[in-house]
Amino acid sequence: MPDLRRDPIVGRWVIISTDRSGRPHDFVPLLPAKPVSTVLCPFCPGQERLTPKEIMAYRPQPAEPNSPGWTVRVVPNKFPALQVEGDIGREGVGLYDRMNGVGAHEVIIESPGHTDSLADLPAKKIEDVLWTYRDRIIDLKKDLRLRYILIFKNHGPSAGATLEHSHSQLIALPIVPTSVLEEIDGCRTHFEQKERCIYCDILRQDLSDGDRVVAENHEFVCVTPYAPRFPFEMWILPKRHAGYFEESQKSQFECLAPILSECLRRMDKVLARPAYNFMLHSSPLHERTGEFYHWHLEIIPKLTQVAGFEWGTGFYINPVSPEESAKSLREVEI
């Protein structure tokens, strides 16, 4: 019989209906993989003139900005969703509310290698990418117009990537997104009732049960959530309570990089290198939610499509139980 499960954080229900599909190899990519492009890539070294001027870059040796020799490079998005210039200009238009599209939209080029995948990079290189995320959040946090920063990665055409060179993106917003507010509200309610962080409670239970644990080290754990929206959805969370990603210390990044690498490699092995999205959820920039909110990374392979039932109800139908997903991911040889 299908299993109805409720997410304890936001209250969202999902349907785990394992009869609708089967084992990991039953999944096929939503879009076929494209051959490596021979077209001039704006993210490759030597082509820096093809991007807007860099915001920052890591270079082992001193060099001029917007020149080769970088290991991680950050540039403004050439087609930004929001723009840095201007004031917010909040106003009411009759019943409706509007504001100017003020914010920031940046691209983090994760490696100079055109064919490099984040999963295949050495842990130290991934650590550099994480430091870049932190540096950009800290810098943008100074702008009091901005209230939330989302860092995300679209890997593969069916996940929304328009360029194959490995990169992630940052969008800074003048409002806190609804999905994050729902998480924060759920965390706040749990904390008011029990004086505990709900993510910490989830970690304690999942580490005790073990059925949904994919990987762990002494600082981080990767789990498949109890009520996942999508097959093989994974969360990576710090074991010690932490509300703000940008407050992470060097020792934590040294542990986050290898577990992120391991989880991506496990996913690639089980699911034959699928397209995926990941999102970094952290506390809003200027609100003190760190006491009860717990930052985390969500990784979602693109294996199924959201259709009419999901759009119409807010329920998700997942054809694979999180326990089976975790078992496949945990036991695969990498």
105 is catalytic: no
Spot the catalytic one: 155, 165, 167, 281: 167
The three-state DSSP-derived secondary structure of the chain is: CCEEEECCCCCCEEEECHHHCCCHHHCCCCCCCCCCCCCCCCCCCCCHHHCCCCCEEECCCCCCCCCCCCCEEEEECCCCCCECCCCCCCEEECCEEECCCECEEEEEECCCCCCCCHHHCCHHHHHHHHHHHHHHHHHHCCCCCCCEEEEEEEECHHHCCCCCCCEEEEEEECCCCHHHHHHHHHHHHHHHHHCCCHHHHHHHHHHHHCCCEEEECCCEEEECCCCCCCCCCEEEEECCCCCCHHHCCHHHHHHHHHHHHHHHHHHHHHHCCCCEEEEEECCCCCCCCCCCCCCEEEEEECCCCCCHHHHHHCCEEECCCHHHHHHHHHHCCC
Closest C-alpha among 138, 74, 127 to residue 105: 74
Q: List the beta bridge partners of residue 75.
A: 107
**Residue length, the chain?**
334
Rounded to an integer, what distance in angstroms lies between the CA atom of residue 225 and that of residue 239? 15
Rounded to an integer, what distance in angstroms lies between the CA atom of residue 253 and that of residue 280? 14
Give catalytic residues, as residue numbers: 167
